[in-house]
A and B are shown apart, each in its own frame.
Chain A
């Protein structure tokens, strides 16, 4: 009895949570199968239409160019996330393990930068981009994304690096390892769990980013997924079937990244947040 009760309670909570989480997801899936006519007939949220309107998905991908937008977002994320994490790792490594002056000061420099209000930086950034022909440039927006993503990544990696014992460094130096070798061959591999988690969170944040994407990229053919989805909302009301289909399709790349990286952060980020 003592053994069964906790298990029952645990599964009960899990089921409750599943209901809360999955029920809306199911309604979105059902919505994506409905055509506009189905909406106007006043169909209930959880009713399945007589005919599944697969056209929503093909329309989203091809007519509404979602596939194109996803390709653009992917292109940017694939560069932004690794480079961003790499640059952050460099900085975190320098702050924690190399004897720089004022490591805390530099860290605060990054942290404060994170407090810079988005919309205030938006107008000057936009002006800067326009004057240098960087509007619609993927490189331009990748650069901005990397910069805005640095503080959090540095925060996490700094914590993690601090938890790796310094004795390891000394042993490596004694063995004739250069600082560079130390960074690439010792520290980075040890930080795999933190990096994997950062990868997912970073990818998620980049994929979801809306404001900069809508302002810095105006050319329709180069637009990113978040701004592109907004285009589904037209003058004559929103086609929620189409929009739901688009949202579901949008979720696939992230799920893929998540599934691929899961095994790497099983080892955990325990060290990432200590001191």
Chain B
């Protein structure tokens, strides 16, 4: 499973149950649909744990963040998969936005490098 463009790449690696985000995402709201579908496909597999790897995602616009939040809410409703988000304080939007995930999904673990 992979969604990619010249500026970004999002893919799922089943071997370590990790969704990798890479590059810079500046899509319109509707254009996040493929990524939303990818995330929900992963969710449908009902994995025991899941890592969202954001270390190489240099930029995510507000629509993208919105997409992440919604995924967090969906995870909370599902209630089984243990999710870890790996981010870095070196990237401004991550500091700002990843913490919110905890609000939508209290069980989420957020590992920020550079803390």
Partners in one complex: no
